[in-house]
């Protein structure tokens, strides 16, 4: 007998309790600490394909050198590379950061735009980054879908999708808007600590009684 459809309200409430003592994801911490959309945007770039334990110290080193668009443009590519190493693709990211800064100055008087489509027009900014900037930088509604959100949303049976973009579009229709801004951070924390890609820790999961474990072939 198949389990009834998961109730997303219960999932969110359970994850709120279970993640309350875990440290926030790096970009969320940047948003809370600096309350600056530009620094949130740069931390998003640094975080791509990089673990949080590497991202936040790299962001702190870079922001100690430059915390505005104008100041960042005074740094050389080598200076940025040295500050952000060892984030993944640090050389490419240094060039991307400078290109974004030049674009912000040329097109937006040094200000980070606060709408999704305009953010997506910036070099190196994809939907994940744009949505996260809206959420953590501006406190605006957004649905940020990374690998954890895509995987867990499918694993619990809330969506049935094949790509992060498809997951975002379905979540925009199905997920109550009151949950949008916290959904990413909750699932990222759970994905990093419990609902792992391979052999998730189902015995420790607060959702184990309600989760159909779709696609899970091995678990602990």
Whether 128 is catalytic: yes
- Backbone phi and psi for residue 117, each to the nearest 5 degrees, phi listed first: -65, -40
How far apart (Å, rounded) are the C-alpha atoms in residues 116 and 95?
23
Catalytic site residue from 24, 52, 93, 146: 146
How far apart (Å, rounded) are the C-alpha atoms in residues 99 and 124?
9
Catalytic site residue from 24, 52, 93, 128: 128
> Is the N-terminal amide bond of 165 cis, ω within 30° of 0?
no
Alpha helices in 35-163 (DSSP H): 37-47, 52-65, 69-72, 77-84, 90-108, 116-120, 127-132, 138, 147-155
How far apart (Å, rounded) are the C-alpha atoms in residues 57 and 29?
11
184 membership: H or E segment, kind and range: helix 180-193
Q: Give the Cα-Cα-Cα angle 160, 13, 32 (nearest 5 degrees).
A: 100
Whether 146 is catalytic: yes
List the catalytic residues.
Answer: 128, 146
């Amino acid at each position: 007998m198949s389990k009834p459809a998961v109730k997303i309200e219960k999932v969110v409430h359970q994850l709120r309790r279970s993640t309350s003592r875990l440290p926030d994801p790096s970009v969320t911490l940047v948003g809370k600490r600096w309350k600056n959309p530009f620094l949130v945007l740069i931390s998003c770039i640094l975080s791509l394909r990089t673990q949080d334990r590497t991202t936040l110290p790299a962001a702190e080193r870079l922001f100690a050198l430059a915390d505005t668009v104008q100041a960042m443009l005074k740094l050389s590519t080598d200076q940025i590379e040295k500050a952000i190493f060892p984030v993944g693709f640090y050389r490419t990211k240094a060039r991307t950061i400078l290109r974004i800064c030049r674009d912000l100055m040329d097109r937006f008087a040094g200000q980070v735009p606060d709408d999704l489509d305009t953010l997506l027009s910036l070099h190196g900014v994809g939907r994940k980054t744009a949505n996260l900037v809206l959420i953590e930088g501006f406190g605006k509604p957004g649905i940020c879908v990374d690998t954890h959100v895509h995987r867990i949303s499918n694993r619990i049976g809330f969506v049935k999708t094949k790509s992060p973009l498809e997951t975002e579009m379905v979540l925009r229709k199905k997920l109550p808007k009151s949950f949008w801004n916290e959904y990413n951070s909750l699932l990222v924390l759970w994905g990093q600590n419990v609902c792992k890609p391979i052999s998730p820790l189902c015995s420790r999961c607060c959702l184990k009684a309600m989760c159909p474990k779709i696609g899970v072939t091995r678990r602990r």
